[in-house]
Chains A and B, each alone.
Chain A
């Protein structure tokens, strides 16, 4: 179910996610202190290459990390095996990647 390659991908994506999640939560808490509106936030993020890279990497790492985690849960708790398990892993990866990419585009593209 988990071989060395998937294990490494999940650990490496976790390593990437740890500082990103902390920054994401930290900025969120900081940004709303003064009562920022959605429009004001978008005004800062749209057209910002650093925020696009930040959340682009975030979405990529989440897609890898979560799809492997869901794979383990599906296999151990619901007995999913074989090509169904591979398909589920890829589907979760693709759905999170596409939804995330759309969100990153909406928030950071001009």
Chain B
């Protein structure tokens, strides 16, 4: 540690978006570069040393809670697991609130619409048994369960939602996260909400608005592939409409 503190601190330029629902602008800060530093560390440094009024959101700091996603140099990222070294360009960082969501203040977005769309997609489990029934035996090797397992590790960070150009062009589109969750439930043999969920994901803002651009899969920090999940939903809804399934 002593050797590190002897070195002159290398500073970097950080532009942080400041403002509220009615607009705002970027404000420039300087922050010291450190070993293994994350974007969240930089934001926290600015809030603690430069401007305590800076608003941002985080909780776990270890990539589990999905609270701290922001736009970093124009791309959506989970800031607690994004190393500065990986994304620093010309010694500069540009940090902004997540795209496609209304801003509350500074870097904190209002995620209400994001979660409302999970509800609209019926992306919640509909139980078919009660707590008094025995546990349902689940074979982890069936194709349905494998498809569901591929897609379940979502942390609701909204990185995919911010990355999605279909959401940007169509405010009614349910988006990759909600539809990805719906796909896991379509493949869950314990779930009883199949028919109404198929209707929900087939409506005007549903899965058929996806252009398969793949931004969600590109940016998902947990390396999920919502594009593939949505393609699965498209196949399932078409099969159901043609009377070919379940």
Contacts and interface: CB of A to CB of B under 8 A. Distances in A.
Interface of A: 1-4, 6-8, 11, 72, 75-77
Given A8-B238, A8-B241, A3 B169 contact: no
Contacts of A1: 170, 172-173, 204-205, 209
14 contacts: A1-B172, A1-B209, A3-B202, A3-B203, A3-B204, A3-B206, A4-B238, A4-B241, A6-B208, A8-B241, A11-B238, A72-B209, A75-B169, A77-B169
Contacts of A76: 166, 169-170
Contact of A4 (B166, B170, B173, B237): B237
Contacts of A11: 238
B105 interface: no
A25 B209 CA distance: 31
Contacts of A72: 209
Contact of A75 (B170, B202, B234, B237): B170
A1 B208 CA distance: 9
A72 B237 CA distance: 20
Contacts of B234: 7
A2 B172 CA distance: 10
Interface residues on B, range: 10 to 19
Nearest to B206: A3
B154 to A, nearest CB: 24
B143 to A, nearest CB: 23
A75 B172 CA distance: 11
Interface string B25-45: 000000000000000000000
Contacts of A6: 208
A66 to B, nearest CB: 17
Nearest to B172: A1
A75 to B, nearest CB: 6
A2 B209 contact: yes
A109 B76 CA distance: 58
Nearest to B208: A7
Interface in B170-204: 170, 172-173, 202-204
A75 B169 CA distance: 7
A9 to B, nearest CB: 11
Contacts of B170: 1, 75-76
A72 B234 CA distance: 17
Nearest to A3: B204
B169 A4 contact: no
A2 B210 CA distance: 9
A4 B238 CA distance: 8
